[in-house]
């Protein structure tokens, strides 16, 4: 009980010391006199926290808004960061008197004025009594990633755009050049009462006249008016989902043009352009867990997408090609751009 009382008194004394420079020396002497002996806290009492200080981060100032990240390297930006670190050091000293075993994990100055650490839960209120501290919050862990496509469109302003313009992708075609596709998913079911750009007859005409990059017939590639073309460029058979775990192609297609569907919670979810058609073009190598792309297949898919008069081609391979100019299909991409895609 005595330790707790002395612990509280010291916290109040230190708060005064940090906010009053006139009586700094007397207060310092009193703080040292009342210094709390190291307390052995039970490890189960420790909690990961983020200590947020009062005052804006470096990049939160109006000057930073005008100059962008260049403000970091200016004299004013460096001066602001130095002041933040000085304040953080004072708060750290305060906490260390309460909990000598304190170790700072990370410091934030550019985008936040804060630092993270692990402290006994029972001293959080004492830390928050520091006049330099805005608040202390528990560092959340194990935040579960969940699909939130039914809220993403609203957050991105896409719903408002569609309502104001009437643009839902109807009459447009998006070619997705990627990995596996689940052509049986509800988001890719046939559409009703929608204008479509590509019909089975169109596919058949191309196959008969101009021809695709491979010997393809409409019967082999046409799925529905939602998916007028689905083809696995790694083999020569009608499209089948061989490796469901390689689902990036399905993921991308759903975001781009998935149909409006209702989940169990009765919330509607759809892609950005739900009334658009999809060309599903698998170019990844045909093996389980394969994350490799075949250049020849990619070039062939671009060629076929152009023949089908796609409006958009998506190739989110998830990497930067330092050797882009030497890629075989670099010219194919430029030609597709020239074609208005």
Cβ atoms 333, 198 nearer than 8 A: no
For residues 199 and 234, membership in a common domain is answered with yes
Query: Is residue 1 situated within a structural domain?
Result: no
- C-alpha 327/C-alpha 295 separation (Å) is 8
The pLDDT averaged over each successive group of 10 residues in the chain (341 residues) is 44 44 38 47 82 92 83 91 96 95 91 93 95 92 60 75 87 93 92 94 91 88 96 82 80 90 77 94 72 80 90 83 66 84 86
For residues 169 and 129, membership in a common domain is answered with no
Number of domains in the chain: 2
Residue 235 confidence (pLDDT) = 80
Q: Which residue has the tokens 């060629």?
A: 303
Query: Is residue 8 situated within a structural domain?
Result: no
Choosing from 138, 173, 194, the residue where a domain stops is 138
For residues 196 and 317, membership in a common domain is answered with yes
Residues 6 or more apart whose CB falls under 8 angstroms from that of 267 comprise 150
Residue 60 confidence (pLDDT) = 87
For residues 90 and 219, membership in a common domain is answered with no
For residues 174 and 122, membership in a common domain is answered with no
Q: What CATH number corresponds to the domain at position 253?
A: 3.40.50.200
For residues 174 and 129, membership in a common domain is answered with no
For residues 114 and 171, membership in a common domain is answered with no
Residue 68 confidence (pLDDT) = 81
For residues 130 and 178, membership in a common domain is answered with no
For residues 192 and 233, membership in a common domain is answered with yes
Choosing from 107, 138, 169, the residue where a domain stops is 138
Query: Is residue 15 situated within a structural domain?
Result: no
Residue 341 confidence (pLDDT) = 86
Query: Is residue 128 situated within a structural domain?
Result: yes
Choosing from 138, 171, 193, the residue where a domain stops is 138
Query: Is residue 31 situated within a structural domain?
Result: no
Q: Considering only CA atoms, give the Rg of the chain.
A: 30
For residues 53 and 91, membership in a common domain is answered with yes
Query: Is residue 4 situated within a structural domain?
Result: no
- C-alpha 269/C-alpha 326 separation (Å) is 40
Residues 6 or more apart whose CB falls under 8 angstroms from that of 48 comprise 105, 116, 117, 118, 138, 139, 141
For residues 204 and 329, membership in a common domain is answered with yes
* Helix 75-98 × helix 2-19 angle, to 10°: 160
Residue 193 confidence (pLDDT) = 92
Query: Is residue 13 situated within a structural domain?
Result: no
Owning domain of residue 308: 149-338
For residues 56 and 169, membership in a common domain is answered with no
- Give the residue from 51, 216, 213 showing the smallest Cα distance to 123: 51
Query: Is residue 3 situated within a structural domain?
Result: no
Residue 18 confidence (pLDDT) = 42
């Amino acid at each position: 009980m005595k330790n707790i009382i002395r612990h509280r008194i010291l916290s109040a004394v230190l708060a005064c010391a940090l906010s009053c420079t006139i009586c700094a020396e007397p207060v310092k002497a009193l703080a040292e006199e009342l210094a709390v002996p190291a307390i052995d806290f039970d490890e189960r009492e420790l909690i990961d926290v983020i200590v947020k200080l009062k005052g804006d981060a470096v990049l939160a100032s109006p000057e930073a808004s005008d100059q962008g990240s260049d403000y970091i390297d200016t004299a004013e930006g460096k001066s602001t960061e130095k002041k933040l670190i000085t304040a953080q050091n004072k708060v750290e000293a305060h906490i260390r008197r309460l909990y000598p075993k304190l170790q700072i994990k990370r410091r934030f100055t550019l985008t936040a004025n804060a630092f993270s650490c692990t402290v006994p839960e029972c001293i959080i209120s004492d830390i928050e009594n520091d006049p330099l501290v805005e608040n202390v919050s528990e560092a959340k862990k194990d935040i579960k990633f969940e699909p939130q496509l039914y809220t993403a469109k609203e957050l991105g302003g896409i719903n408002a755009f569609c309502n104001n313009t009437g643009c839902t992708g109807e009459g447009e075609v998006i070619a997705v050049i990627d990995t596996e596709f689940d052509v049986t998913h509800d988001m890719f079911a046939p559409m009703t009462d929608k204008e479509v750009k590509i019909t089975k007859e169109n596919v058949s005409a191309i196959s008969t006249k101009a021809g695709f990059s491979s010997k393809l017939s409409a019967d082999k590639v046409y799925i529905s008016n939602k998916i007028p073309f689905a083809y696995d460029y790694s083999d020569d058979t009608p499209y089948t989902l061989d490796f469901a775990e390689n689902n990036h192609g399905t993921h991308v297609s759903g975001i781009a043009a998935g149909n409006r569907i209702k989940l169990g919670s009765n919330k509607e979810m759809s892609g950005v352009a739900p009334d658009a058609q999809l060309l599903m073009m698998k170019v990844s190598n045909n093996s389980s867990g394969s994350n490799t792309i075949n250049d020849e297949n990619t070039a062939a898919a671009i060629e076929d997408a152009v023949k089908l008069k796609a409006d958009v081609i998506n190739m989110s391979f998830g990497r930067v090609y330092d050797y882009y100019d030497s890629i075989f299909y670099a010219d194919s991409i430029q030609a597709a751009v020239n074609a208005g895609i």
